[in-house]
Structure formats: structure tokens, C-alpha cells
Structure 1
Amino acid sequence: MTSASPASPDTPAQAAAPASSWVRFLRSYGPTPSNTTLFDEYTVDALRKAKVAPIKLPSPELVRILAWADSGLPGSALIAGTAGDGKTYHCRSLWIHLGGSDADWAEKRGPVKELALGGGRVAVFVKDLTELNEQESDAVLGLLEQSVLGAEDRRFVVLVANHGQVLERLRDCGRRQGRAHPLRVPIQDAFLQRSAAPERLALFDLSRQSRGQAAEEVLTAVSSHPEWEKCSQCEWHGEGRVCPIFENRNRMLGAGDGGRVRLRLANLVEVSRLNGVRLPVRDLLALASNMVLGHPDAKEGLMTCAEVPKIQQRSATERASIYDNVFGANLGRRASSKPVFRALAAFGVGAETTNGVDGLLIYGADDPNLQEPFARLVGADQVYGATPSFLSELQRYLEGEEGARVDGGAGAFLRRIHSQRRRLYFTLPGDDPHYRYWSLTAFRFAGDYLDTMAALSAGRAISESTRSRLVRGLNRVMTGLLIENTDKLFVASSGGFTQSRISVLCDTEAAARRSGGVGMKVMLDAVSGRALIDVALLAGDEHSASFALTPIRFEFLSRVADGALPGSFSNECLEDMLAFKAKLLRKAELAKKLNSDDDEGQGDALTLRFIEVESSGHGYSKPVTVRTGQ
């Protein structure tokens, strides 16, 4: 990296930046050892000290909570979720809405607070169920029970708890009282099966929010905060100077790209959720702070306004790349200890690539056939793309200088290439046929998966190309053969209920499209919110087997359909598929028993059907009659 000369006479003298208080407040949300602002209990005090407006996030659940309070309906409320979902924030907002004060809320006199309302009613707020001892817990749960079951209308409870906490406390309370607590099973069913809660219990489950939508909302709220307007008065950006903090904020806001950064990060978060990895709002706020303020040379990896002049003088602005900060590159090894960065690291952005992308990055500046896309996709970004430092190291690498190809030189150049791949994931146009941004991740078919989820959620049919690819992948897993069929499924075995990976004995076939209650159907599971493959061999629920189609299983089937060996991508996915195959074989055996009357009269002959594959890849089942008598 080229070093900067000492500050020139026209360089402005260092002064307090107008937005420095806001930046320090935003930094307190970041992944630092002292990020207490991520806990609602400390937010009010931090806002008072910084003298800035809070980060306001839209919350449909908060609207519902306040509407319930305004309705005056009898009964109590349970605000549930996992750690970091904003339960305390929602509870505090309801407290303020009902007439409580911030000062009373902040008083540290225990987790139970009472608020007198009009008409003689009293709201009992429980900020944290885990802080109650057994006696206090039983008293609160007793009031909750009386309120929900209709025995108490004057006092009601607003309870905040994690899912497991409230269920455990209800179970323990019932055990101490020598009975099964009447609210435990209904609340558990409401959590796990999304059943209706008891009529007088207003249940607000914050964990049901779409994580992808939440990610977009967090990035929008942070990047559009009114405090950023003060940066227009700052002398450390403009007139040829680039403030990395303000540059990252603008890119998060969507300046020049229509919000690609927000949308594509939201896609990563949503795919993570559908794979079973939830990222609560607390983690998303930490991520947003890191994206804007991350720099490996800054204290704790997060910049303040005071550090910007030094970074500019060292010509180190490009090391603050928002595209690297998304994955915690500024944090070094510390990133692996943060759940949000572990989840995003699973996508391999920066490590995954294609020949086309690497050819563009390495040879694009000199190859006449690549100069136009290089100028458009790399050269146009003078801050984090084709910087003088990047072009200099690229030239040294191409010219074969020994220092650029061995030891630290090669590693430094590879880090730059990794950084450019990350940048391209967030900046490539979505309709570019030569460079597809999902190909820069380990989930190259994630875009098709999200399109499938959108179609199912809207009640539309999934695309035929996706259906065909899923059927081809399933057939290849079930048979172990390179079958190209997309019109039917072969339920095959090796002659027994084994998990043999090569199975040529066709037990039965199923149409690739559901008709008359028989065949394959891709549907939306109302409970999990994920896609589901359901295969029915005969009409009736008892003759079908289903399989949760998570993003990683979708990727597995898609790659197998395109020619990958099943075990080379994921042995875990392969085992899951073989377990699904075993379910179908059991259903096929049941169907055979029900149809056994059709086999009467065959005497001592047994007909087996073996799968044959033509040179074109088309498979078919060929009947072979075997004599079993004397």
C-alpha cells in the first residue's frame, strides 16, 4: 500500500466533527466488549448522554401491542421471543404508551412494576421473568392465570419472557401446586404449532418476524438517521477527501445502486433464517454499526470521527470497505465469536468465485475483451474498487515480481481479490448474464430458492425449471444413477429397506406433479414457514411422505441435478435424503399391500421392475418376471 505524504498546507486542521456524538452512539451498538447499548435497559441513558434521537425501527408487533392496549379488552399480554428480539423495547414502549415515565421505568427496584390506569385498572409489568424467585414467579403466574381465565379483571399482567423460560416457569409452578398448570399446554401449542392462544391472552411472538425484512429495516433506520445531516458541515469529506464513515453510510443508504447492499444482505439473513439460524435485531444493529464504522486499524476495529483524518493521511480509506465489514474482516479473529458473523461466513463470500469473475478482476484491465466490463464493474469504484493501490499490486502480480507472488506478497494480493469478490456480490447488476452475484456464494441456487418461497407465499406455482431440477436431483439421489427424468420420481431400493446409494430396483413411481391427490407437490409449511416437498403414492395423507426443503437441501438437490456427486457437497444432506427415501419405501410397501388383490392369479410368478438408463439419460422401469414355484 502506498504511503501518504505529510498533510499539505490546505489540509484542514483537525476539529471536532459535527456528527461525532452520533457516531460514538452508533459505535456503542457495534461488536465491542462494552456494547451495552444493545440492551434496552441501557438505551435511554446512552441517548441522554449522546443527546441524539433514538434509532427508530418499524415494528408491526408494536402496532398490534398498542392496539390491544387501546382496545380495553380484558385479559393479559405475553411478549415472547428469543434473546435480542426487542422484547424489553416493546414492553417499555407499551409502558410509555399507557402513561408511564422513562424515569419510573429506569428505576432499579426489581423487574416488576405496577402502573395505575383509568377505571381502577392496574397493569403489572414483568420486565424479566428470570429475575423473580419462586415465590414471586408463582404470584405473577397466579395473577396471569386468574386474568386469562376470567377470575380477575381489575389487575392484569404484561409479561416479557423467552419461549423456554415461560414454559419452564409454568411447569415448575404447576408442579409445586401439585397440578398441571392450565396455561402451559395452550401457550406451548401457540409457540410450536401456531395454534390460537387462549381468548383472554394477547400473545405477541417477536420471533416470527421475517429476518430479511428486519435486516433491511435496520440498515434503512441507521443510514437514514437525521444525525447524518450534520456531516454536510464536516471538513473531513468533500473537496477530494473521502470520509470512510460517510462513504459507508451512503452506500448502506443505497446511493447510486438503488439499495443493493440492503437487499442482498437481507437475502443472506433470510436464507440463514430458513436454514435455522436466527439473527435477532440486537445482532442486526451490531452488524449495521460494524458495516459503517469498521476499519482494521481503528481502536477495537470501529472508527470514530477523530480517527478519520489519520486514516486519510495514511491513504488507508479503502481498508474501511463496507463490503468487507459485512463479514467482520475488520475484527480479525474476534469475528468468529459473534453469531452474526459466523452465520454470514457460512456463505463463503470472498472465497467462492467463478473463472469469469476472477478473469475479470485479474486480466480485465489489460484484456480488450474485458476492458468494458472491468471499467463498469471495477474501475468505476474509485474508493473500494480500482484504487491506485489495488492496480499497483495487480500489476506487480501480473509482471511476476517475486515479492508479489511469494510469502506475504501473495497473501496480501489474495486478500485484495477476496475483498473485490465481496464487493462484486453486493454491486453486480442483478440482470448481468455473465456475472451472477449468487455464484459468488456457497449457495449458488439461493436466488431460485427465494423465488420459490415468494411464489409459494403468494399462492403461485413454482417455476418449471426449478421443479424439473428438484425432480432430477431427487431421482439421482434415490437411484444413484445419472437419470435425466423430470416427469416422474423413481422410488427405488436395492432389494430391502437399506440406505444403499445405488438402487436399481424400482418399487414404485410417482408423477412429478400432484394430480388427483397423487404425485409430488412443493408446498409451504404453515408451521415452519419453509418450503416442503410432499410425495403421495396414493390418495390420502397416510400414503404421503414430506421433506422440509431448507436452502441447504435445495442447494444439494440442485447441485446433484447439475452433476455433482451427492457425497461431495454434504454428507449430512445425503443422509437426510436417504432417510426421506426410506419413508417413501415404507409408503410403497403399504401401497403394495393395499393393491395385493391385483396380483391374484399370477401363481408362482414374481414381477420385478429394474431401472434402465438410455444413452440420453432417460430412465425407465423394465419388468422382469421371476418364477418362484417348482
Structure 2
Amino acid sequence: MANTFVSKWINFLRKYGPIPRNDNMYDEAIQRALKRNKIEPIKFETPYLQELINNFKSDFPKSVILTGTAGDGKTFCCREIWETLGGTQEEWGKEQKIQSLSISDKQLIIIKDLSEIQDGEKKQLLPEIAQSIVEPQTTHKIYLIAANDGQLIEAWNIANQDHNIQEARQLIETLLVEEKKQIQGFNLLLYNLSRLNNEDMFYQILDAVLNHSGWQECNECIYKDAANLHQRCPIWENKKRLDGNDDQQLMRKRLIDLLELLRHNGMHIPIRQLLLLISNLLLGHPDAKDKLLTCQQIPDILATKTAYLASPYSNIFGGNLSIRKRNKTDVFTALRYFCIGTESSNYFDNLLIFGADDPAMNNDYQELISKDPYYGEYEQFRIAQTRYLEENDLPETKEAFLSLLETQRQRLFFTIPEDRSSELNLWELTVFYYAGDYLEKICRPLKRRQKIPKSLISQLVKGMNRIFTGLFMNNPNELILATSGSYSQARISKVFEESISVHKKRGESVSIELNSEHNAPDFVIFLSSHPEIAPVQLRLNLTRYEYLNRVAEGALPSNFSQECYEDMLAFKTKILGQINLRKQKEEQMDDSSENEIILRLLELRSVESVLMN
């Protein structure tokens, strides 16, 4: 049975989802669909856009390079700037890789995608671009160039290597490596759109999608808010859950937590992938065409009682897609990094399996599972649960129920109330048990310019000491540096080299500070107040934070992450290098009186006794 109601908005929203497409024509295809269906664009504030427009409207505009990964919004920014400065949609829609526009006394040349320009044309263009950057007073041309970060430097190899080309290439390399926007003396601004925050962009895009006027079409649909729960449209159900009017936007907050954690772990999610995630979250269903629902399919989905397969909690991780398609989609690969659904604890599994009939767990079962008959205790789950308890020796019965358990764990992660998250150990549903602490006790306090308590730092130092020495040490107040005599990266290091006080002491201290350039936490070791003895820094990402806490709690370093272990030993080597530099400076400044020698020996003996014990 087909639905007579058809929403142009829903059909358009599918185009953002994980469907086959020519990515090189992505922006053009979206614009054609908007125009053809007379739909308002999805509008959200794009960082830097107004800044870019102001630059080109200024009396002394600079050339601009927009770089980043595919899908970061480079083409979108170019088109918005073009139209704002007086260019027409019709001209932009023509299949021309280069567009030009007169602004004041300058000619603005827009290159939509540098990688699309043939080598012969690049040889002609690049010297002119270099001239506008290095010698702007000699030309009336300025440029707006979109280029994927991997291709930006490579392009300059094609041009004849004259002075301007070499200067321009070196400038761009410096801006990329040092993550700067400009350097004085050059007429260029470089914007790396890959530095945009995952969570901030997601929040804006999600609001724009959920508040879009296209949803008004759904008021005509009989399945929107049907009196019978089992006759309600899963698309509208998913929208309501993302709106979060009934749970203070809990699902949205948890998803933003995950995106923020990914950013702190060095994973950037482009705007296009965020749009794909939202489309899949709202429309995903494994039995639908292209795995995304349309209005016409809703009656059949409801008739076959498979609406539960449209669970947004599973769609977040691409659960509606084939394994091959899911693994080829960056945002799902990133989100599945947390292993939500496959990770669990005895409590959660016992709750899902026995909670309905166990008096000790029944209250929790009612609150966390029965309360949600659409995606929680739906009919098929109860049937599978009963069969599992009665016939769990049958492989097909066991497999069917275990697959439902995975989606239930995913749902629990996004629905456990905030006031019970600590009590129920929410983050045990992920592979990162300390992820919640990392966000709430490290990242967000730093963002508010708050200091991190020494107790948290001491816990990390405890883990670091065990890695640096290979011994089961319990000293949280000093960072202990030891080697095997000459080799700093030996697994067991018993030869004491130096200790660094966690608390401020003679220029020494250990802290966690916000790296303002990367908007991320750094673990910082201060060795001296001498200006030439720079502190040693380590990016404290989620994986390293988890690793250090696990080791501090008793896990063996080699059993967790070889990459983390090697990172820590490399960090130890850097610290030892700065300590040697400190010793050299001390020898240059002072001949070391007898009293000072005695004090140092006492300190060393004190530490040695800790090591021996």
C-alpha cells in the first residue's frame, strides 16, 4: 500500500543522505533540486563567510585561499560570495571552472576547485596568483581559490619556479603548518575550513534542518501523530526525538558530546558529512530504497511492523546501511570508533535480558525500556527476548536477540537521564570509560578558563610514572624519569634520572592547559623559570587520557595501545632532553656550591627510596 501524501521536503532531504552521487557535482545538484522543487535552502551561519565578504568589499582586499577536506563548504562559500558581490545564479550555474567579477577597481577571479584546472592552464594561472600575493601593487587582479588541502601545495610544482612562485609556495606551506591565517607583508588570507568545530557546526545545521519550513507539509499526513502509536510515521517520530522537547534535548546533547570528543581526538567531520548524518538519522531504514525512507513507503513499513528498524539511535552509526557502505562513509566510521552497541556491562545486559521479570531491576526496566514502546520495548523485542530465555540453545534465536541488544544499547546511551548517568556508568556503553570525565573535568572547564585541579593531574602523573619506569609505582606528586642507563625507551627503566614536582617548586610544575590555536588540552611539564628552558607539551587527546587513567587504575600499558605507549616514551625522551638543557644552563650560571650539591643528593636519595619501596 502506497501513501498518497508526498513531501517534496522529505524527497529533497534524502539527497543529503548516503545515496550514490557524483561528489564533484554535489553543490550543483543540491542547487538544482532546490530550484526544481521550489524549496528554501537549509540556511545556517557559516563561520568566516561574513569576514570573507567584508574583505572583498574593503578598500584593500586580499586574495583568499579556502582549503580543507572535501565537503567542508568551500564551493558553498565561493557561491555565496559571488552572489553577494553581484554575480548571478545563472552565470554561476554554467559549467565554468573559473568565474570573474569586477569589484571596485579590482577584478575578482574565483577558481571553484584548483584540482579541476588542467596543468596547462595552471602554468598560466599560478604566476598571476603568485604576483597578486607577493607584488599586489603591480596587478589589479585578486583571487578566491578553493582547493583541497592535499592538492594545494602540489599544484605549485607545475609552475616555473621563479621568485614569486617560490615566495607564494613557501608562504602557503608556512600558513598551513603553523595554522595561521595570514603573515604580514603578503596579500593573502588562508582559511582552513577543516578547523571548524564538529559540535558547533552540527548544532547549527541540525537546528536549520529541524526548523525548516518544509516540515509544514507533514501537517497534511495522516501518519504524523496518529492516535495509534503503531500507526505513527517513524520519520516524524525521529524528528520529535531530535527536537528533544520531552527530554531537554538529551539525544542531541549526547551526540554533540561524541562529536566534540572526536574533534579532541583529531577527527574532523566536514559539513557535508554532518548533513549526511542528519539525513540518515531522520530517514534511515534498512528495508527502504537507498536505505532512506520516503513518504510512499511509510504505510508498508507500518503494516509489516518494522518501524522499529528506523531507530535514530542505530541510524546515528549507519545501522541501516550495509557494512561495506557504512565503512566507506567517514562520519559513521568516526562515530563507530566509540563501539557504542558492542560495548556493555553486566548491569546493562542483565537489565535488557532479565529486567522485565527481575524484581530488583524492574523499576529501571520500566524507566529505561518499557517507557519507550516505539524503539524500546516494542513487540518484536519482547518476542525475541522471550524466545532467547526459553530457547537460547538455538543459534538462530540467540543471534536474532543479540542483534537487537546492540541497537538497545545504542538507544540506552542516548536516553539514560542526565541525573542517572554517573550512577549507571553511562560511558561503560562505550570503549572510553573516562570520556565523560575528559569532557566535563578537562575540556569544558578549560574552555571556561578554569584551572584543572591537581588531583586530576596527579592521577595522570601516576599513570605516566608507571609507563616511564615500567614499575607499579604509586607516587602521584612527582613525575619520575628513569632509564635503563643509556636507553630512555626501555620497557623497564630502573636507573633514576630526575623527578619533577607536580606542584609549583623552583620553576617546576605539571599542569593541563588550553592550547588556544587548536582549542584542545595540552599536558604541560614546566622544568624551569629560565626563559630558554621551554616547557614540554603533549596533546592530551581522548585516547591518551583514557590510556593514562586505565594504567593508573592498574591496567598493563602494553595491553591497551601500542601507539599510546610509544607516544608516552617519546614524550619522556623530550622531557629528558629539556632536563639535560636545564643542567647545562645551571652549570653555565653557577659553579654549584657544596650546599647545593648536598641538597640535590638528598632530593635524589629521597626519590630513590620511593623507587626502592
Q: CA deviation at 1:218?
A: 2.3
Partner of 1:151 in structure 2?
137
Equivalent in 429, 435, 438 of residue 424 of structure 2: 435
Q: Which residue is equivalent to 1:316?
A: 306
Give the equivalent residue in structure 1 for 2:447: 457
Q: Which residue of 1 aligns with 2:398?
A: 410
Q: Of the candidates 362, 365, 377, which is equivalent to residue 353 of structure 2? A: 362
2:335 aligned with 1:347: no
Question: Could you report, residue by residue, the CA deviation over 1:20-57 in whole angstroms, capped at 9, with x for unpaired residues?
Answer: x2111111111122375982122211112232211112
Contact 1:505 1:609 in 2 (8 A): no
For 1:556, what is the secondary structure of its paired residue?
Answer: helix
Are the aligned partners of 2:506 and 2:528 in contact in 1 as well (CA < 8 Å)? no
Q: 1:421 aligns with which of 396, 409, 412?
A: 409
Q: What whole-Å deviation, never above 9, does each CA across 1:443-493 have from its counterpart, x for those lacking one?
A: 121222223122223322114442222111111211223323222111122
Corresponding residue for residue 115 of structure 1? 101
How far apart, CA to CA, are the structure 1 residues paired with 2:298 and 2:217? Answer: 16
- Cα distance in 2 for partners of 1:251, 1:193 equals 42
Cα distance, 1:38–1:395 mapped onto 2, change above 3 Å: farther
Assess, with a 3 A threshold, how the Cα gap between structure 1 residues 485 and 330 changes in structure 2: closer, same or farther.
Answer: same
SS in 2 for 1:182: helix
Q: Which amino acid aligns with 1:377?
A: L
Which of residues 247, 253, 260 is equivalent to 2:243?
Answer: 253
Partner of 2:218: 231
Offset, 1:225: 1.6
**Over residues 474-525 of structure 1, what are the superposed CA-to-partner deviations in whole Å (9 max), with x where a residue is unaligned?**
1121122332322211112233324222333321111113455312122233
Partner of 1:172: 158
Output the amino acid matched with 1:284: L
Please say if 1:286 is aligned against 2:299.
no
Paired with 2:336 and 2:534, the residues of 1 have a C-alpha distance of 40
Q: Which runs of 5+ in 2 are unaligned?
A: none
Deviation (angstroms), 1:531? 1.9
Aligned to 2:326: 335
**Is the Cα–Cα contact under 8 Å of residues 82 and 207 in structure 1 kept in the other structure?**
yes
Query: 1:599 and 1:575 mapped to 2: Cα distance?
Result: 39
Letter in 2 for 1:419: T
CA pair 437-83 structure 1, distance change in 2 beyond 3 A: same
**Structure-1 separation of matches of 2:572 and 2:190:** 39
Structure 2 residue corresponding to 1:567, chosen from 542, 555, 558:
558
In the other structure, the counterpart of 1:201 is 188
Q: Which residue in 2 is equivalent to 1:77? A: 64
Give 1:9's aligned residue: none
CA shift, 1:272, in A, is 1.9
**TM-aligned CA deviation for residue 557 of structure 1:** 0.4
Deviates most, 338-347 or 575-584: 575-584
C-alpha spacing 1:198/1:588, structure 2 compared with 1 (3 Å): closer
C-alpha distance 73-178 of structure 1, shift in aligned 2 (>3 A): closer
Say whether the 8 Å CA contact 2:180–2:190 is kept in structure 1. Answer: no
Aligned sequence identity (%): 35
Counterpart CA distance in 2 for 1:121 and 1:496 is 63
Deviation at 1:430, TM superposition (A): 2.2
Select the residue among 123, 148, 160 that pairs with 1:162.
148
Superposed CA offset, 1:524-573 (max 9, x none): 33444332222233334536432221211111001111221111111111
Q: Which residue does 1:371 correspond to in 2?
A: 362
The AA in structure 2 aligned to 1:173 is A
Whole-Å separation in 1 of the counterparts to 2:64 and 2:545: 39
Match of 1:380 among 352, 371, 380: 371
Shift of 1:276: 2.3
Give the secondary-structure state (helix, strand or coil) at the position aligned to 1:503: coil
Distance 1:350 1:152 in 2: 61
After TM superposition, the structure 1 = structure 2 runs for residues 27-46 of structure 1, keeping only pairs within 5 Å, are 27-34=14-21, 39-46=26-33
Amino acid corresponding to residue 168 of structure 1 in structure 2? E
Say if 1:35 and 1:93 are closer, same or farther in 2 by CA, change over 3 A.
same
- Aligned residue identity for 2:409: R
Q: Per the alignment, in what secondary structure is the counterpart of residue 252 of structure 1?
A: helix
* Structure-to-structure mapping, 1:207-222, within 5 angstroms: 207-222=194-209
Amino acid at match of 1:132: I
Deviations 1:123-148 (A, max 9, x none): 21111112223443244333333433
SS in 2 for 1:125: strand
Matches within 5 A, 1:388-403: 388-398=379-389, 400-401=390-391
Q: Tell me if the contact between 2:66 and 2:147 (Cα under 8 Å) persists in the aligned partners.
A: yes
Q: Deviations over 1:347-374 (max 9, x none)?
A: 1000111222222222222222222222
Q: Match of 1:186?
A: 171
Q: Structure 1 residues 486 and 265, CA, compared in 2 at 3 Å: closer, same or farther?
A: same
2:527 counterpart residue number: 537
Instruction: Spell out the pairing of 1:496-511 with structure 2 (5 A cutoff).
Output: 496-511=486-501
Asked if 2 retains the 8 angstrom alpha-carbon contact of 1:78 and 1:201, the reply is: yes
Deviations 1:272-293 (A, max 9, x none): 2222222111111111111111
- Superposition deviation, residue 234 in structure 1: 0.1
Distance 1:364 1:145, change over 3 A: same
1:472 maps to what in 2? 462
Deviation at 1:196, TM superposition (A): 4.9
Mapped to 1, the partners of 2:233 and 2:314 lie a distance apart of 17
Cα distance in 1 between the residues matched to 2:602 and 2:474: 25
**Equivalent residue, structure 2, for 1:586:** 577
Q: Within the alignment, does 1:448 sit opposite 2:437 as a pair?
A: yes
Unaligned runs of 5+ residues in structure 1 are 1-12, 614-618, 624-630
Instruction: Within 5 Å, give how 1:3-152 maps onto structure 2.
Output: 14-19=2-7, 21-34=8-21, 39-108=26-95, 110-117=96-103, 119-148=104-133, 149-152=135-138
- Distance in 2, matches of 1:35 and 1:170, equals 27
Task: Answer with 133-142 or 412-421: which moved more.
Answer: 133-142
User: Scaled by the length of structure 2, what TM-score is found?
Assistant: 0.90
Quick one: distance in 2 between partners of 1:298 and 1:127? Answer: 35
**SS of match in other structure, 2:321:** helix
Partner of 1:298: 288
Give the C-alpha shift of residue 267 in structure 1. Answer: 2.1
Q: Which residue of 2 aligns with 1:627?
A: none
Paired letter, 1:450: L
TM-score using structure 1 length:
0.88
Matched AA of 1:562: E
Displacement after TM superposition at 1:67 (Å): 2.4
Partners of 1:599 and 1:386 in 2: CA distance: 77
Name the CA shift for 1:178/1:585 in 2 (closer, same or farther; >3 Å): closer
Inter-partner Cα distance in structure 2 for 1:430 and 1:563: 29
* 3-state DSSP of counterpart to 2:66: strand
The CA deviation at 1:194 is 2.9
Q: Which of 476, 479, 491 in structure 1 is aligned with 2:481?
A: 491
| Residue identity opposite 2:132 in structure 1 | S
- Give the secondary structure class of the aligned counterpart of 1:151: helix
Moved more, 299-308 or 83-92: 299-308
Q: Determine the C-alpha separation between the residues in 2 that align with 1:61 and 1:543.
A: 34
Change (3 A) 1:510 1:23: same
Q: Identify the match of residue 576 of structure 1 among 556, 567, 571.
A: 567
Aligned residues: 597
Query: How has the CA–CA distance of structure 1 residues 180 and 101 changed in structure 2, closer, same or farther, with 3 Å as cutoff?
Result: closer
Contact 1:219 1:253 in 2 (8 A): no
Residue matched to 1:525? 515
Flag the 1:405–1:417 CA change in 2: closer, same or farther, 3 A. Answer: farther
1:6 matched to which residue of 2?
A: none
Q: Which string of whole-angstrom CA distances, capped at 9 and with x for unpartnered residues, describes residues 208-252 of structure 1?
A: 211121122222222222111211210123121211111112212
